[in-house]
Every structure is written in C-alpha cells, then in structure tokens.
Amino acid sequence: PPPFTGVWMGDSKLCAIGVHCGNHITSHGLALNCCTDLTWFDHIVPCGLEGKGVTSLSHELGQHVAVNHVLEPFLDSFQEVFDCTLVSSEDPE
C-alpha cells in the first residue's frame, strides 16, 4: 500500500523491489515470492516495515506455484511494460 514500494496483497508484500547505490555503481532487483517458505519471515521485520506481512503466489492462490511456472510470463510482461528486449547470458552471440 502507498507509500511502500513493491507489490502488495492487502497488508502483505508479494514482491520486493530495490535499488542500491554505492561506489559509483547502481544496482537494482526484485524478489517475487512464488513458493517461498514464509515462516522465515516470522524471525525478522521484513523490509523494516513493522506490522506488515509477507505473502507468496502459492499462499494467495492456494496451490504450489513454482518459479519456472511464472518466469516466462513475467519476463514477457517485463519486456512489454519497459519496451525492451531481454538477452540471456546463455544466448549465443
């Protein structure tokens, strides 16, 4: 929920989005919880947000959702939204 970044299902974060700047280098990334063991989050304050939870696609959909099931549609959507072409380091040059 605003003003927090990421993808949320109510008060639970489904996907974390982050940017790190340091030593003249900027890096960014995201973590989409597909079939994450959510019990690990019982031991920390996720993203430093008191009173907020963490969820996963598997938990929200009530069925196992593996990373390999969402990877291709996610990457296709990413390319469409950001009008770009993704290149894998495994692709031949």
Determine contact, residues 71/65, Cβ cutoff 8 Å: no
Q: Is 47 in the active site? A: yes
Residue 52 contacts residue 46 (beta carbons within 8 Å): yes
Helix ranges restricted to H, 1-93: 57-61, 67-82
Active site residue: 34, 35, 47, 84, which one? 47
Residues with a catalytic annotation lie at 47
